[in-house]
Amino acid sequence: MKKFLYLILSTLPAFGQTATPVMTARAAARFLDQATWGPTPASIAAVQQMGINDWLAAQFAATPSDLPDEPILAVDGKSNNNLTPIVGVFYQNTITGPDQLRQRVAFILSQIWVVSQVSVHPAYAFPPYWRTFRDNAFGSYSGIIKAVTLSPAMGTYLNMANNNKANPVKGTAANENYARELMQLFTLGLTQLNPDGTPVLDANQNPVPTYDQSVVTNLAKVLTGWTYPTAPNAKAKNNNPAYYFGQMFAVETEHDSTTKTIFNNIIVPAGQTAEQDLDTVLVDLMQQPSMGPFISKQLIQHMVTSNPSPAYVQRIAQVFSSTGGDMKAVITAILTDTEARAGDDPNAQANPNFGHLREPMVFLTSLVRGLNGTVTTANGLNGYANETGENLFNSASVFSYFSPLNRTEGGLYGPEFQIYSTQTAADRANAISAALYGSLDKTTQLDLSPFIDKAGNVSDLADYIGYAFLHNAMSSDLKQAVTDAANAAGTAKAKAQAALYIALTSSEYQVIH
């Protein structure tokens, strides 16, 4: 009897221990680098225990973070253009928010559907625009298209708002900016794509364009007749002044209701309302075969690897088209794909071109999260991101911080390398130096003690850094360099600082594998 009881107890976890992990630390950390703002010891342990599917389910259900609404006017009565409070909360959410996956996907969507303060100045425009992606990150891609199309912030940025039908007396025609970028950047791309993302070629081996100028002109007509929401206590006009809460609404007298021929020779019939025209286009867009591979490949590039195989793109595009652009299904497919997970196995044959450069914001948040950081809303993290080419909500143009088509040496795609220059490489190294030897800003607190505690044995220290930052897989060359730097340092703290500096400035860390 006594022996039997002992056996039962032994199958339960001992006090203070947790259940047997279902994933290795390496696999969990790799996954977290793809799905979040950077692994932490706690999140690595959580994914190890939960496995990917349970973790994803928990993330899909996690309470969304928010950004604070801002006053329309500053105290001097002029437009309030100060984004600082919003940006501070944004970074705080990335560091400590529970909804890591939602925030990361929303940020990726905002890099595809760019609105920048370079031409949309009022600060209060940005939290509602951001919520468009936060709220649709796990929704449908067609929902994203419609929500952004009717967003007043995009209305200003690409002239969708107050885009009146042609006026022969004034000699004006519909503005083509939004129509063009809706196709080129947000949904279809310039070139027709095969299901695996490779370009469709004509008989002369030239890429086949998705649309021509006449389609742009006609789609611009389809999208006429929308104006800004009417501000409280204001009288509605055909062309309202800019107002950034709520959705744009249709003014039928400014809508071009003639018949229009758009992409793929689809005819938008005459006599429809502005909203009927828009819904027609939404349905037709979602049925274009290029959209699945075009959007899927960009999502893969942002989360997993700059150069996915055509087969990987095709698997995700298939999920995209068969689910009507269901983002939960697409994200799950991207993160659980065999190509994304192949490197979880330390003995697998590595693809040397797998992975992508850590973009500035993810570099910073990963650094702070890995160093057990706490931040306040007054943090200055965006200053470092700005210096290195990624000033939140301030992309230089609609082409975002970097292009999915940017190439590096040897013809490899390397989107993030577009903003990785001699200068920004030095700036990134110096941000690491500031974090370890000084401070990143006045309020961000980093805790090196877990590393200092290991510094009595430099090999243990290197292994722990590898666990925290390098998917438990530091190369022998890097371990040697880390060891050399730490051995030359005096105190335990100095050893931890020197070892972390070498590891975090290394290409192994800068490039997520």
Instruction: Tell me the site size for other proteins, rule CB under 8 A.
Output: 72
The two structure tokens encoding residue 399? 């082409």
Q: Select the residue interacting with other proteins from 42, 73, 270, 348 (CB under 8 A).
A: 348
Please identify, among the stretches 46-54, 70-78, 454-462, 473-481, the one whose residues bind other proteins according to the rule CB under 8 A.
473-481
Q: Select the residue interacting with other proteins from 19, 201, 208, 350 (CB under 8 A).
A: 350
Q: Are 473 and 466 in contact (CB under 8 A)?
A: yes
Closest CB 492 distance from other proteins, rounded Å: 13
Residue whose CB is less far from other proteins, 231 or 419:
419
Closest CB 481 distance from other proteins, rounded Å: 4
The two structure tokens encoding residue 13? 């976890």
Closest CA to 109 of 203, 218, 186: 186
Residue whose CB is less far from other proteins, 255 or 260:
260
- Judged by CB under 8 A, the chain residues 89 through 148 that form the site for other proteins are none
Q: Select the residue interacting with other proteins from 190, 200, 231, 448 (CB under 8 A).
A: 190
Burial 222-255, CB ≥16 within 10 A → b, else e: bbbbbbbbebeeeeeeeebebbbeebbbbbeebb
Closest CB 506 distance from other proteins, rounded Å: 6
Closest CB 322 distance from other proteins, rounded Å: 30
Site string for other proteins, 53-72 (x = CB under 8 A): --------------------
The two structure tokens encoding residue 212? 């021509």
Closest CB 498 distance from other proteins, rounded Å: 5
Token pair 């000033």: residue: 391
Q: Select the residue interacting with other proteins from 16, 168, 171, 232 (CB under 8 A).
A: 171
Residue whose CB is less far from other proteins, 131 or 513:
513
Residue whose CB is less far from other proteins, 38 or 97:
38
**3-state helix/strand/coil string of 189-254:** CCECECCCCCECECCCCCECECCCHHHHHHHHHHCCCEECCCCCCCCCCCCCCCCCCCCCEECHHH
Residue whose CB is less far from other proteins, 77 or 171:
171
Residues ≥6 apart with Cβ < 8 Å to 28: 39, 43, 44, 45, 47, 48
Q: How far apart are CA 442 and CA 448, in angstroms?
A: 17
Q: Select the residue interacting with other proteins from 125, 242, 331, 498 (CB under 8 A).
A: 498
Please identify, among the stretches 20-28, 161-169, 260-268, 502-510, the one whose residues bind other proteins according to the rule CB under 8 A.
502-510
Q: How far apart are CA 148 and CA 201, in angstroms?
A: 32
- Judged by CB under 8 A, the chain residues 403 through 442 that form the site for other proteins are 403, 407-409, 411-412, 414, 417-427, 429-430, 433-434, 436-437
Burial 91-113, CB ≥16 within 10 A → b, else e: bbbbbbbebbbbbbbbbbbbbbb
Closest CB 406 distance from other proteins, rounded Å: 9
* Residue 397 engages other proteins in binding (rule: CB under 8 A): yes
Q: Select the residue interacting with other proteins from 250, 485, 492, 496 (CB under 8 A).
A: 485
Residue whose CB is less far from other proteins, 238 or 423:
423
Residue whose CB is less far from other proteins, 271 or 352:
352
Q: Are 225 and 251 in contact (CB under 8 A)?
A: yes
- Judged by CB under 8 A, the chain residues 192 through 211 that form the site for other proteins are 207, 209
Q: Are 273 and 258 in contact (CB under 8 A)?
A: no
Closest CB 159 distance from other proteins, rounded Å: 14
Residue whose CB is less far from other proteins, 147 or 154:
154
Q: How far apart are CA 320 and CA 215, in angstroms?
A: 25
- Judged by CB under 8 A, the chain residues 209 through 238 that form the site for other proteins are 209, 213, 216
- Judged by CB under 8 A, the chain residues 264 through 323 that form the site for other proteins are 306
Q: How far apart are CA 286 and CA 276, in angstroms?
A: 16
Q: How far apart are CA 267 and CA 364, in angstroms?
A: 48
Token pair 């929704």: residue: 139
The two structure tokens encoding residue 67? 């950004």
Closest CB 328 distance from other proteins, rounded Å: 30
- Judged by CB under 8 A, the chain residues 352 through 381 that form the site for other proteins are 352-357
Please identify, among the stretches 73-81, 250-258, 439-447, 478-486, the one whose residues bind other proteins according to the rule CB under 8 A.
478-486
From the number of C-beta atoms within 10 Å of its C-beta (0-12, 13-18, 19+), residue 195 rates as: middle
Q: How far apart are CA 146 and CA 257, in angstroms?
A: 19
Closest CB 420 distance from other proteins, rounded Å: 6
Q: What is the three-class DSSP state of 77? A: coil
